[in-house]
Amino acid sequence: MLFAKEGAEVVITSRSQKRAEKKAEEIMERYGVKNIYGVQASKKEEFEKIISGKDVILSAGPPKINFITEDMWKKADNIKAMGDINAVSPVGIKGIKPGADGDIIDGVKIFGALGIGGLKMKLHKKAISELFNSSDIVFDVLEVYKLYSEL
């Protein structure tokens, strides 16, 4: 949703086309964004097609499932940054180590689960400090994103 709010075209994958489309529709309706598409992907060929031409890849799938191999993303054109929130091996995107925090591999900026977690902790600390300034703050995803832009 945050990527879509920034104007990006977002593709959500699932093993089920129906589930992917439903999730995309839920997000667009809830947050008033557009350009989110649900696509079925469970085979190597499907993932290769989906990542081709994309600028940013974020893997947020279940633990111990490798969706994208290193050779797949290295031969894909256009990828500028990738992140994988899974710290359990094997990660969703092979070649991303959990501690990666903006590392550059073959021209691609890489973020692993622990690197992403470091940013999460900075946001968490900022949110807690804001709560000491005001007792009527509610932090939803959009409010946390605003805090991020202040970091």
Q: For residue 32, what pLDDT band results from cuts at 50, 70 and 90?
A: very high
Q: How confident is the model at residue 82 (pLDDT cuts 50, 70, 90)?
A: very high
Least confident of 29-43, 70-84, 89-103, 137-151: 137-151
Of the chain, the percentage scoring pLDDT greater than 90 comes to 77
Mean pLDDT of the chain, nearest integer:
93
Measured distance CA(37)–CA(127) in Å, rounded:
31
**pLDDT tier at 64, thresholds 50, 70, 90:** confident
Q: Which domain does 19 fall in, by range?
A: 1-42
**In total, how many domains does the chain have?**
2
Q: Is the same domain home to 2 and 14?
A: yes
7 — pLDDT class (breaks 50, 70, 90): very high
Does one domain contain both 13 and 49? no
Query: Taking 90 as the threshold, does the pLDDT of residue 107 lie above it?
Result: yes
Contact 34, 60 (CB under 8 A): no
- Residue 51: CATH number of its domain: 3.40.50.720
Q: Say if residue 99 is exposed, middle or buried (CB neighbours under 10 Å; 0-12, 13-18, 19+).
A: middle
